Amino acid sequence: MNRSMKLATLLATASFGVLAAASAWSAESLQDVMKRRGLNEKDVLAAAKTYTPTGKRDEFLVFSSGGQSGQVLVYGIPSMRILKYIGVFTPEPWQGYGYDDESKRILDEGSSIDGRKVLFGDTHHPALSETDGDYDGQYLFINDKNFPRVAVIDLRDFETKQIVKNPILKSEHGGTFVSPNTDYIIEAAQYPAPLEDDFVPLEQFNEKYRGAVTYWRFNREKGRIEPENSFSIELPPYSQDLSDFGKGPSDGWSFTNSFCSERYVGGIERGRPPFEAGCSAKDTDFLHVVNWKKAEELFKAGKGKKINGHVVIDLATSVKEGVLFLIPEPKSPHGVDVTPDGKLITVSGKLDSHTTVYSFDKIMAQVKAGKFSGKDEYGVPIIDMASVVHKQVELGLGPLHTQYDAKPCVAYTSLYVDSMLAKWDYCEGKVLDKISIHYNIGHLMAMEGDTVHPKGKYVVALNKLAIDRFNPVGPLHPQNHQLIDASNDKMQLLYDMPLPLGEPHYAVAISADKLKPHIRYPHGTDSRTEEKHPASVRAGSERIERKPGKVEVFGSVIRSHITPEIIEVTEGDEVTVHLTNLERAQDETHGFAVSKHNVNLSLEPGKTASATFKANKAGVYPYYCTEFCSALHLEMEGYLLVQPANYKAAETAKAKEGVAYTQKDYDGRVKANVDTQKVIDSVVGYITSVNYKDFPPVVALVEDATDQLNFAKGAKEKSEDFAKKADWQNAMLWAEQWFQYQVKAADIGLRAKTYLEQHGAKKVQ
C-alpha cells in the first residue's frame, strides 16, 4: 500500500469508528452493570449526578491549594476531573515553570530568602479576583504560610506572574482574601515574631513580638501587586488567623481572628506545659475588627513608619485614629466568614460547639457610641461580646469554616471533630441538615460560596484525613475531597476524589463560563511579562549570534522540526536558546530538552521561551521535542555540538549522506505527493461543501491546514528548483518535506471532517 492509499483508508475508518462504538454499547443493560459492580440505586443516582459524558464539560471550575507542593490544582465540578496543576512556589517541569529564563525570573526571586532557596510552599488559601463582590474570572491569588508571600496568577493562561514576599512577617495564615473590587489582598500573620528581622529573646514576647495584617495593593490594569502602594497595620502578639473583607454595608472593614491571645510561649524542655495547653486556657480569644479604609488614609497621609522598607501603621496610631477594635470570640476560633449581604460575620471556635454570628450594625453602634468594655494591654478597645452577637447556634463539635448558599440565610459549616457538615439558617439560628464526611473536614467550599451571589448546587468537603476511603498506597494517604449535592433540602454525598498532593486547605469554585482563557498566545509572547518577547522570530528569520564566550540562538519550533537543527558552540560558552512556537493550531505544544543540561521548555502555540546554560563540557548532546506533537515527533530533533576549546575542523569536505537519491526516487516521490494532494482535495471538498464556518473550532483547523499547505507549496517549489538543476539529492529531500507538510494538512483536515460529521454539519449550496 503506498502512502496516499493509507490516507484514503484512514478517511474511510474515521467515519466507520462511530458506528462500531454504538453497537458495543447496547451489549449490557444498566441492571447487568449494577449487578456486576455491586451498585445500588443510590450509587447510580450519584453517578448520574457526577458522570460527565465524553466530550462534555463541567459547570464549575475549582482552584484548590496544592498544600506543601506549592502549586494550585484545577478541577471540574461535578466530574471531579483534574484539569491542571499550576506551578506557583515550586518548579513544575511539564510547564517549564522554573526552567525557562522567563519563569525563573519570577520563581528564583520569589523563593530566595537570606541567601537560601525555599523549595516548597505551604499554600493555604486561593482567592479569585472580584468585581462588586462577585468573581470576575480574571486573577487568582494564593498565600504561603511558611515563607510569607503571595502569588498572582493570570487566568488568561493560568500562569503565575508575580510572587511578592512579605517584608515584615515570619509566618502567616490569614491570606489571601480580596476586597470586593480587588483593590487589596489581605495577608495576616500567624505566629507572632519581631516585625524587624532581629533576634529578640522570648522573654520579651509581650513587648517586642507582634502580629500584623498586610494590605497588598493590586493594580488590575497591570495585573500586578504594587508593594510600594501596600501597607500593614501592627497588631498585638496574638496568633492572628483567618481573615475576611467586609462587603456591602461592611465594605471598608476587615476581620481577622486570633487564637492564643493568652500569649503563651511554651517551653516543654523548660518543664512548662506545651503550647496547646497554654494557648487554649482562656474561654475567649479576639476578633480583630479593622477599618482598613481609614488605615489606607493614614498610609497615604504618611502616618506609618517604615520597617524593612515597608510602611507599618503602629498600634498607638491605630488606637488613636479608630482603626482597630477587638471583640471576644469563643474559643480557639478558626474561620471568620462575612455573609453575602455583608451584614453578619460568622465565627467558629474549634473548642466550642457553637458558631457565633456577629452583627456588623451592632458592632458599628458600639464603635460610634464609644462604648467599650475595656482595653487590652496594648490599649486596643474591646467591644462587649454580648452587645454585638446576632445569634449563637449549636452546630456540633469542632466547627471551623462557613460558606454560603444561593438561598438566603442558608450556610454550610464544617465540623472537624464530628466529621460532619452542617447546613443551617444563620438568620433564625437553626440547624437544617447534617451529613457525615470521611474524615475530619477542614475547609469546605460551596459554589462561589464566599461572594455576594453564591450559586449553591454543590459543596465540597476538604477533608484532613482519608483513612480507609481508597486503595492503600502506603502510610502517606491521599487527601480526600468529597463532593456533596446541595441542591435539595437533604444533602447527598456523591463522590470521593483522592488528591495526591500536599494538604489542600482551601479551594474556590467559579462558574466555568466566567473564564475566558487564551487558546493560543499572540505570536512571540513572553508569557510571564505578557508582552512581545524581544527574541521572538518569524519563520525564516531564525539565526545564531556569537560574541566571545556567548552564543545566542533565535530559533523556532513547528511540526515537526526545530530550527536550528545544529548548534555548534565552544566548551565554556554561555548559551541562550530562545524558541518561538510558530503554531497557530490549538493544543500544538512543543517541548525542548537538551541532553544532560537541565534544559526543559514548554512552548505552547505562540509562546517564546528561553533557556540559558553553560556548555561546560565538550561533547555531543542531542536535543529534541518532549511533546508527542505529530507523527514525526521523534524526528523533531537536533544536535548541540560542544567543541573542545582548541578544536579545528579537520574534515571540511561535505559530509556524506546516509543514502544517495536518484531521479527515479524523486519522480516516485512526486507522483505519491500528487496522489496525496487528491486525497487532501477531497477532504477540502467535503469541508467546503458544508457549513463549516459555523463551527469556530473547525475554522481554526482550516486556518492551520492552510498554513501547512502553504509550507507544502514552499517545499514543492524548492524541490522543483533542485530538480531543474538535476540535484536529485536535494530535490528528493525537499519533495519528502513537501510530503511531510501534506501529511500534517491531511491530519488536520481529517480532524475537521470528523468534527463536522459528529456535530451535524449541513450541506451548503
Of 288, 390, 443, 455, the residue at the interface with ligand CUK (CB under 6 A) is 443
Structural contact between residues 82 and 591, judged by C-beta atoms closer than 8 angstroms: no
The interface partner of residue 395, options being ligand CUA, ligand CUK, none and the CB cut-off 5 to 8 Å by kind, is: none
Query: How many residues contact ligand CUK, by CB under 6 A?
Result: 11
Q: H-helix or E-strand containing 246?
A: none
Indicate which single residue of 324, 609, 625, 680 sits in contact with ligand CUA (rule: CB under 6 A).
625
Q: Note whether 58 and 512 are within 8 A (CB).
A: yes
- Kindly write out the interface string for residues 585-614 of this chain, putting x where it contacts ligand CUA by CB under 6 A and - elsewhere: -----x------------------------
Binding at 469: pick from ligand CUK, ligand CUA, none (beta carbon under 5-8 Å per type): none
Question: Which is closer to ligand CUK, CB of 125 or CB of 744?
Answer: 125
Task: Specify the residue, 79 or 356, whose C-beta has the smaller distance to ligand CUK.
Answer: 356
Instruction: Report the DSSP beta bridge partners of residue 187.
Output: 214
Residue 343 touching ligand CUK (CB under 6 A): no
Strands 231-235 and 310-313: what pairing? parallel
**Shortest distance, CB of residue 464 to ligand CUK, whole angstroms?**
7
Q: Which of 128, 193, 225, 242 binds ligand CUK (CB under 6 A)?
A: 242
How many Cβ atoms from other residues are within 10 Å of residue 691's Cβ? 13
Of 149, 156, 173, 751, the residue at the interface with ligand CUK (CB under 6 A) is 173
Single residue of 49, 208, 282, 633 touching ligand CUA by CB under 6 A: 633
Q: Which residue has the cell 492572628?
A: 240
**What are the start-end ranges of the H helices in 209-346?**
275-278, 292-300, 315-321
Report the partner that residue 260 touches, choosing among ligand CUK, ligand CUA, none (CB closer than 5 to 8 A by kind): none
Task: Decide which of ligand CUA, ligand CUK, none touches 523; Cβ closer than 5 to 8 Å per partner kind.
Answer: none
Q: Which is nearer to ligand CUK, 78 or 398 (CB)?
A: 398
Q: Which one-letter amino acid corresponds to residue 524?
A: G
Question: DSSP H helical segments within 343-420, as ranges?
Answer: 360-369
In three-state secondary structure terms, 123 is: strand
**Does position 124 bind ligand CUK by CB under 6 A?**
yes
For the bound state, the minimum distance from the C-beta of residue 395 to ligand CUK, rounded and expressed in Å, comes to 16
Residue (of 741, 728, 724, 755) closest to 676 by Cα position: 741
> Site residues for ligand CUA, window 561-590 (CB under 6 A)?
590
* Cβ 4 vs Cβ 679: under 8 Å: yes
CB atoms within 10 A of CB 129: 22
Interaction between residue 627 and ligand CUA (CB under 6 A): yes
In terms of CB distance, is 146 or 626 closer to ligand CUA?
626
CA-CA distance, 186 to 761, in Å (whole number)?
Answer: 51
Helix (H), strand (E) at residue 684: helix 663-689
Q: Which of 481, 505, 590, 669: binder of ligand CUK (CB under 6 A)?
A: 505
Q: Which of 615, 636, 684, 687 touches ligand CUA by CB under 6 A?
A: 636
Of 421, 424, 422, 395, give the one whose Cα is nearest residue 409.
Answer: 424
Stretch of 103-111, 321-329, 623-631, 725-733 lying at the interface with ligand CUA (CB under 6 A): 623-631
Are 175 and 166 in contact by the 8 Å Cβ rule? The answer is no
Give min distance, CB of 634 to ligand CUA, in A.
8
Strand partners of residue 6 = none
Q: Of the two residues 391 and 607, which places its CB atom closer to ligand CUA in the complex?
A: 607
Question: Least Å distance between CB 628 and ligand CUA?
Answer: 6
Residue (of 523, 519, 520, 539) closest to 531 by Cα position: 523
Quick one: angle between helices 663-689 and 3-25, nearest 10? Answer: 40
Of 392-421, binders to ligand CUK (CB under 6 A) are 400-401
Tell me which of ligand CUK, ligand CUA, none is bound by residue 446, counting a contact when its beta carbon lies within the kind-specific cut-off of 5 to 8 angstroms: none
Q: How far is the CB of 242 from ligand CUK (least distance, A)?
A: 6
Give the nearest residue (CB) to ligand CUK: 442
What is the distance, to the nearest Å, from the Cα of residue 379 to the centroid of all Cα atoms in its chain?
42
Binding-site size for ligand CUA (CB under 6 A) equals: 7
Q: Which stretch binds ligand CUA (CB under 6 A): 80-88, 188-196, 487-495, 624-632?
A: 624-632
Q: How far is the CB of 266 from ligand CUK (least distance, A)?
A: 20
Task: Please give the Cα distance from 103 to 208 (Å, whole number).
Answer: 38
The answer to whether 673 and 738 are in contact (CB under 8 A) is: yes
| Minimum separation from the CB atom of position 382 to ligand CUK (A) | 25
Residue 235 in contact with residue 195, Cβ under 8 Å?
no
Q: Is residue 629 close enough to count as binding ligand CUA by CB under 6 A?
A: yes
Cβ 103 to ligand CUA shortest distance, Å: 20
Q: Beta strand pairing status for 566-570 and 637-643? A: parallel
Contact 219, 225 (CB under 8 A): yes
**In the chain, helix, strand, coil percent, each to 5?**
25, 35, 40
607 binds, among ligand CUA, ligand CUK, none (CB under 5 to 8 A by kind): none
CB of residue 400 vs ligand CUK: minimum separation in angstroms? 5
Contact 630, 744 (CB under 8 A): yes
**Contact residues for ligand CUA (CB under 6 A)?**
590, 625, 627-629, 633, 636
Binding residues for ligand CUK, per CB under 6 A?
A: 124-125, 173, 242, 334, 400-401, 442-443, 505-506
